[in-house]
Chain A
Amino acid sequence: MDIAELKAELEQYHAACFGWALSCCARDRAEAEEVLQTVYLKILEGKARFRGEASLKTWLFAVIRKTAATEYRRNLLRKLRVAVSSEQVSKREPAGGEVDAAFDRSEEQVRFRLALQHLPARQREALHLVFYEDLSLREAADVMGVSIGSARQHYERGKKRLREILERTEVDYGISWRGKENPGAV
């Protein structure tokens, strides 16, 4: 594929790619942007080459996922070098405060984001790819680099875990998640 054609295709998927990068970077906007830039750089330099073995979107998401993992490891090493306290480096902090400050959104949405952050990475990825990116389970499995059976398991467990977390927060906030109707439901 020619670079100009690829650029046009990438532009089409840019928003989705950014969403996926955000998910891979624990909703850290700056890091997601950095990852996306690195992915484009890889494409420009020919380090990441689309061979048509999967759909462009699936391939692109797989590259973003891999790049985000590499960047995460690199950042972790950098933090270790500057001897930041072990608590800060051992775990990614959910960017809840930033989320609250950045966007004016509903309380439910905030709780949903925090709940997502408490999910294991694989489960979060499976849910994001299916519900956010509208991918099939097979495509999600391709992006995650796992078998379809494994992807299905992550998906089911993720749903269950998300429901549990949201129900728990409902009790805390006194809101019924199950009882509420969402007009935006598909």
Chain B
Amino acid sequence: MELVGEEKKIQALFSELRLADEQAAPSFIGVWNRAQLRTRTRVSPLNFSLAATAFAVFVAVVALALWSGSRPQTPPINQTVAITPVTSPFTPVTPPVTPTTTTEPTPKVITVVEQRQAARKLRAARFAARQRAELLAARRAEIRDATAISSWQSPTATLLSSQNDALLNSLPQLNESVKELKSFLPNK
């Protein structure tokens, strides 16, 4: 850049400033070595946060594992699912083959469709069993509630009882004689 007049003056002042700064500048090696030392001793905040996150995740996983281990297991559904061989509609119809003389058992070929059907049946059976269990539990709860209601007694029931309860609550029987009935009538 070509400098003129005033700019030269400014540059002269800056040059003088630069000379003074160069004399006062710290040595490169010293600054570099201190920076290197800081590199070794410094723990990056990113690394620290990563380590903290990893530790938190680890603790959470361990807690979850312990919790799931101590949780009471639901009784296994004792149910056998009979998988009946199903003829797949996709299997080609083979013509009847004459029996051969070989005695080796033919390996059972389980097609993908059969596997899917079996899995579907198993799922359906599990669903039905779960529904039955839920229904049974609901009925049990209903019975328990009904028992509790029938045996319930008001806390103030004792206040209503008196010595003449037997007289008030009893009714004359139909086959009783008139004389006996008279006992209910007022004395004249």
Contact = CB atoms under 8 A, between A and B. Distances in A.
A40 B35 CA distance: 6
A33 B24 CA distance: 11
Contacts of A163: 6
A56 interface: no
A81 interface: no
Contact of A103 (B3, B6, B20, B25): B20
B15 A186 contact: yes
A45 interface: yes
Nearest to B40: A44
A36 B31 contact: yes
A44 B13 contact: no
- Judged by DSSP, the binding face of B is helix
Contacts, number: 91
A15 B18 CA distance: 9
A33 B133 CA distance: 77
Contacts of A105: 16, 20
B32 A7 contact: yes
B38 interface: yes
Interface size class of B (residues with CB under 8 A): 20 to 34
A72 B119 CA distance: 68
Nearest to B6: A163
A18 B21 contact: yes
Contact of A186 (B3, B18, B24): B3
Interface size class of A (residues with CB under 8 A): 35 or more
A83 B16 CA distance: 39
Contacts of A184: 12, 15-16
A128 B18 CA distance: 10
B168 interface: no
A103 B24 contact: yes
B34 interface: yes
Contact of B1 (A15, A130, A182): A130
Interface in A133-186: 136-137, 159, 162-163, 177, 182, 184-186
Determine which residue in A10, A45, A102, A182 has the highest number of CB atoms from chain B within 10 A of its CB, and name it.
A182
